[in-house]
Amino acid sequence: MPLKFKLNKVSQSVDLLEICDKLSEKIIEFGNELVGVEENSNFVLNIIDLETPKAFRRKSQEEMVVSITLIKEPVSDLKSYCYAGLIKSISNILFCIYFTEGMAQPKGYSITPEVGFTEFDYSPESMYHYMYPVISSHFVLRNHLIEDPLLTGIKVPEVEDILVFGKELKSLGVLPAPFPLTKFLDQEIIDQLFRLYQVRGLSYGNLSIRNVTYPTDGTSFWMTARGVDKSNLAGIGKDVLLVTGFDELNGTMDISVPPDYEPRVRVSVDAIEHYWIYREFPDVGAIVHVHAWIDDVICTTQTYPCGTSELADNVVKLLRTSKNPERAEVGLKNHGLTITGPDIREIFLRIKGRLQTKVPMFN
């Protein structure tokens, strides 16, 4: 199905605007449609300067933002420089075209919120290749919070294990600190970010354990919340939530919370992936997601964003090919790992000493 896109030209750089025009022509060649800035679209080309990146005020969660910038001077830490620009512009993917004096051919770099940072030979067609998995994917991020008074003040073995093994993630060296949005964004933009994506912070990795203790109907599991420090979890309704189902009609995860829950709490963006895994593979008792790597894992072939149905579907399909889905490690291209186990302890025993903290980047 053709995608609709629009342009937001913030930068006045002649060279950058020329890059934008050539990319727009290529996108249209692939059968997509350029629409007016006030119309609904699948994605926006946001043309910015990294010195003063501006966030595009998208109309809906479904509207992806592809920011594009140009660098003509050497940068000491290009990845950090681009990542700050990605966050400040609230982009789903940022392309940096790097072309300094003496270079025969510009280099392209794509960076995503999952910290995938890929170098490629610049061309409009290669940029479209890298952005397509992002602009064509669909988020499943909304939560339907259902108050349950019986969750007040209770202790659940699965939750106690999540509190313990959240700290273990830090000891393995794969748990960066949550990214401080307030350092780069004003409160108005942060509020918009929460309204669209229900995100109150950025942090990496998550844990979930199948619920076997608390009475529910159907597939349910306990999972860490979105944007929280996994090494310092507060408990049920604060940093750990009970996922009780998925409403396919409305595209929302059903979440049970105690009446005194944190109002802005939302389950990890990977909840849809975990839900589909638990539903299809009854012997999976726990799932760990880390931004780390293990050699020779089965791996997705596209860099779909976290929280999309496309990424979840790809992981489930790979698990189906695995000899032992309940003890599997699935690589997420340019991103990290989804690791299944019969229980949380088995996962941590299996991966100890095997994790590489640097995720390899693949073209």
pLDDT digits (tens, 9 = 90+) for 5-34: 999 999 999 999 999 999 999 999 999 999
- Whether the CB-CB separation of 80 and 105 falls below 8 Å is answered with no
Dihedral (CA of 351, 356, 358, 363) sign: negative
Does the domain formed by 4-135 have CATH 3.30.413? yes
Q: CA 203 to CA 208: how far, in whole Å? A: 16
CA distance 45 to 56: 10
Q: Please write the tens of the pLDDT for every residue from 317-330.
A: 999 999 999 999 99
CB-based contacts of 188-195 (< 8 A; 24+ apart in sequence) = 189/55, 189/90, 192/55, 192/57, 192/90, 193/90, 194/264
Is 324 in contact with 284 (CB distance < 8 Å)?
no
Q: What are phi and psi of 159, to 5 degrees?
A: -70, -40
Please check the confidence at residue 199 and state whether its pLDDT lies above 70.
no
* pLDDT number for residue 65: 94
The answer to whether 320 and 259 are in contact (CB under 8 A) is: no
pLDDT tens digit string along 300-355?
A: 999 899 899 999 999 999 999 999 999 999 999 988 999 999 999 999 999 999 99
Q: What is the pLDDT of residue 114?
A: 76
Q: What is the pTM of this model?
A: 0.90
Give the pLDDT score at 197.
54
CB-based contact 239:258 (threshold 8 Å): no
Residue 145: pLDDT band by 50, 70, 90 thresholds?
A: very high
Confidence label for 198 from pLDDT (cuts 50, 70 and 90)? low
> Where do the CATH 3.40.225.10 domains begin and end in the chain?
142-351
Which positions ≥6 away from 76 have C-beta within 8 Å? Answer: none
Q: For domain 142-351, which CATH number applies: 3.40.228.10, 3.40.225.10, 3.40.50.280, 3.10.180.10?
A: 3.40.225.10
Taking each helix axis from N to C end, the angle separating 271-280 and 309-321, rounded to the nearest 10 degrees, works out to 30
Tokens found for residue 338 = 């989804």
In this prediction, residues 274-296 reach a mean pLDDT of: 96
What stretch(es) of the chain map to CATH 3.30.413? 4-135
> How many Å apart are CA 147 and CA 156, to the nearest integer?
17
Strand partners of residue 226: none
**% of the chain at pLDDT higher than 90:** 67
